[in-house]
Structure 1
Amino acid sequence: MSTNSAALTIAERFLTSFQARDWETLRDLLADDITWTMPGTGAVSGTIHGADAVVDRARHIAGQGLYTELLHVLVGAHGAALSLHNTATAPDGRRLDEYLATVLTMRHGRITAIDSYLSDVDGMSSFFTAP
């Protein structure tokens, strides 16, 4: 399997496991020393370290009723980027409607870093901050 094919497969498995809330499969894709950086000031912002912390963040994000639409998968020399559209509505009426790129850096068949780039950082921060 080529490096590009492997990156595409891992990226697709990452998104599929997130959408299915299959945390065990998601965890299996991650390097133990992974980092995930998210901009903003909300509860899911900042840089976290370690596979368990990444799964915990993914659980928290998914637990807010997030719907994720895949727009594109882009493959590069060191991983892949997922172009996504996320929407959600909180019980108190707060809404999330953002486009993002989730960049997955890979090494030896594992995701070693996730960097999220958002179209509405303030909106995400507000949505993921308790009222």
Structure 2
Amino acid sequence: MTTSTRTDPAESIQHRLAVTFHRALTSKDWSLLRTIMSPEVTWVLPGDNTISGPAVGIDAVIERAELIASYGLTFTLEHILLSRDNMALALHNTAQRPDAVLDEHLSTVCRVVDDQIVGVETYLSDVEGMNAFFVPRAGGA
């Protein structure tokens, strides 16, 4: 009889990082987010809006997360996807205000090195919708 040496995916470091990443975003716990990311972390988002492009370094990544959350998003975690070394969060983000609605599916793919997130790249279902939603607001972003 063969004995399986597989471990529960929920016990992997990648799974724990994904859960912590989501928890930090939903609770706006930026110090928690900082604990799971490398100081040199990068985060790239598509589009042409206030949150698009690369954020380089932990302070820029935290600033981006704060800005995204400031728009009142609901971050619904649909799935955590694991590879051998990395992970992705499949999310459904929604928000609305009088002049715009955001309803997008996305995948936030994280590269992991030495048990820390070193790179984040977000893939979107509706880049044009994101461009229309993440515009500068009166009184600043």
- Regarding TM over 0.5, the answer is yes
Matched AA of 1:25: L
Q: After the TM superposition, which segments of 4 or more aligned residues of structure 1 sit over 3 Å from their partners? A: none
TM-score, normalised to structure 1, is: 0.93
List runs of 5+ in structure 1 lacking aligned partners.
Answer: none
Aligned residues: 129
Unaligned runs of 5+ in 2: 1-7
CA RMSD, aligned part only?
Answer: 1.6
Where in structure 2 are the equivalents of 1:42-53 lying within 5 Å?
Answer: 42-53=49-60
Per the TM alignment, residue 28 of structure 1 is displaced from its structure 2 partner at its CA by 1.1
**Amino acid across the alignment from 1:114:** V
Tell me, what secondary structure is at the counterpart of 1:10? helix
* Per-residue deviation, 1:79: 1.1
How far the C-alpha of 1:61 sits from its partner, in A, is: 0.4
Please report how far the alpha carbon of residue 126 of structure 1 lies from its aligned counterpart in structure 2 after TM superposition.
Answer: 1.3
Residue in structure 2 matched with residue 30 of structure 1 by the alignment: 37
Normalising by structure 2, we get a TM-score of 0.87
Aligned to 1:94: 100
Amino acid at match of 1:70: L
Give 1:82's aligned amino acid: L
Match of 1:83 among 87, 90, 103: 90
Please list the CA deviations of residues 80-112 of structure 1 after superposition, one character each: whole Å capped at 9, or x if unmatched.
10000000013x421100000000110001100
* Percent identity over paired residues: 38
Which residue identity is paired with 2:67?
A: H
What is the match of residue 15 of structure 2? Answer: 8
